[in-house]
Structure 1
Amino acid sequence: MVAHKFTVDLNKPLVFQVGHLGESYQEWVHQPIVSKEGPRFFDSDFWEFLTRTAWWAIPTIWLPVVCWCISMSVRMGHTLPQTALMVAFGIFLWTFVEYVLHRFLFHIETKSYWGNTIHYLLHGCHHKHPMDGLRLVFPPAAAAILCIPKYHLNHHFRIQNKGFGITSAFWDRVFGTLPQTKAADRAR
């Protein structure tokens, strides 16, 4: 009996297909499809709706929360320098947590049906369809910043085992996962 390799049909909802790729999933998910329109994830319109977010939803939700937290710090009697230090520490902590999650959880290698399916929903879809504007997991402003130097896009299109920082390269420098520039690659 000849084993047939599973092929994903991009014209059908993807989520429950990708699990069938087994060990081939890692290779498949890291071959990006460059298109501004993302694929359909589910047959159900309800579940499909829950996977899409307009770009403005992230700042609309989080900016008021950040402003409220800062105003609460001031109302609690913290000085402006203390509040600024707490904000700076929060940014430092967030970039570290973001780096660790991206590098060690979102890049876990899977090959089981449910492992592949869950990974695709959490982060694999971002690698397969990195330009899908309705499935961003970070603020649009960060995406704009990343598109100018193309830092995080290197992680998707050039060196997928480097460049795990999303809004900052700081932790990539600390942990030695900073990708080299194309000029350095050509000089070799």
Structure 2
Amino acid sequence: MASSKKKFVSNSEDTIRMFKSDFLEAFSKVHWTVPLYVFIPVIGYCIYRSAQTDLLLWQYPLVILAGIFIWTLTEYVLHRWVFHYELPGKWGARLHFVIHGVHHDYPSDKMRLVLPPSLSIPLALAFFFLFKWLIPEVYLWMFFATFIAGYLFYDISHYAMHHFNFKSGLFKKIKQHHMLHHYQDPEKGFGVSSPLWDLIIGSVFSKKDN
């Protein structure tokens, strides 16, 4: 069942059972709208808290840009060096399959294209307390609202890339970039919502790959 980080194989089946336990299996699946229900209220609360601070009007665009920038970097780092990292041995391969390998083996599985709350909520809390430690509170709330909005864009657009047919425009190009990661070379194209860090770090696909 485990998938190797060196070779991902697209399976003709849409899904696979991951756990013998029905309880654990249920937590491995999530409808694509769930992150919206969970995190849009969080974004709204953070914007409300930001309005209670002394953040000046001209500072908002700078904080928003910083939040977007840090999200794109976070997305790249998590995808490349966490989701694609495989510990040695049978258990390492199994853990890798559960975290991300299953998505490469079954990329059309509609219930495993966004992060389940059992993972996204602890990650969001961890990042919030990290930012709270690093960032003055006057900037924290708007920064975190933008960071979480970046995550939502990533999660929902990831679902769309696998199940929507874009005829033209920016999303078609982003989808092509992600499909090359799945079906041509999983060691390139780690940016999902943006190829920015692939361009900066050098993991972008060349023109001949397209």
TM-score of the superposed pair, with normalisation by structure 1: 0.75
Bigger Cα Rg = 1
Q: Which AA in structure 1 matches 2:23?
A: F
Partner of 1:131: 108
Distance in 2 (alpha carbons) for counterparts of 1:85 and 1:78: 11
Partner of 2:15: 38
Q: Does 1:121 align with 2:98?
A: yes
Partner of 2:127: none
Measured after TM superposition, the shift of residue 142 of structure 1 is: 4.2
Partner of 2:70: 93
Change (3 A) 1:41 1:64: same
Q: Which AA in structure 2 matches 1:107?
A: H
Match of 2:191 among 160, 165, 179: 165
Match of 2:85 among 108, 116, 124: 108
Partner of 1:180: 206
Match of 1:67 among 44, 52, 57: 44
Q: Which AA in structure 2 matches 1:132?
A: D
Change (3 A) 1:66 1:46: same
Deviations 1:108-154 (A, max 9, x none): 24441110011111111111111211112352234326763322121
Measured after TM superposition, the shift of residue 71 of structure 1 is: 2.2
Q: Does 1:47 align with 2:24?
A: yes
Query: Which is richer in helix?
Result: 2
Q: Which AA in structure 2 matches 1:164?
A: F
What's the % identity of the aligned pairs? 34
Q: Does 1:143 align with 2:159?
A: yes
**4+ runs deviating over 6 angstroms:** none
Measured after TM superposition, the shift of residue 77 of structure 1 is: 2.9
* Residue-pair matches, total: 161
Distance in 2 (alpha carbons) for counterparts of 1:96 and 1:47: 31
Which runs of 5 or more residues in structure 1 are unaligned? 1-16
Distance in 1 (alpha carbons) for counterparts of 2:45 and 2:75: 22
The question of whether the paired residues in 2 share the 8 Å contact of 1:74 and 1:83 is answered with no
Q: Which AA in structure 2 matches 1:81?
A: W
Q: How large is the Cα RMSD of the aligned pairs?
A: 2.3
Change (3 A) 1:133 1:111: same
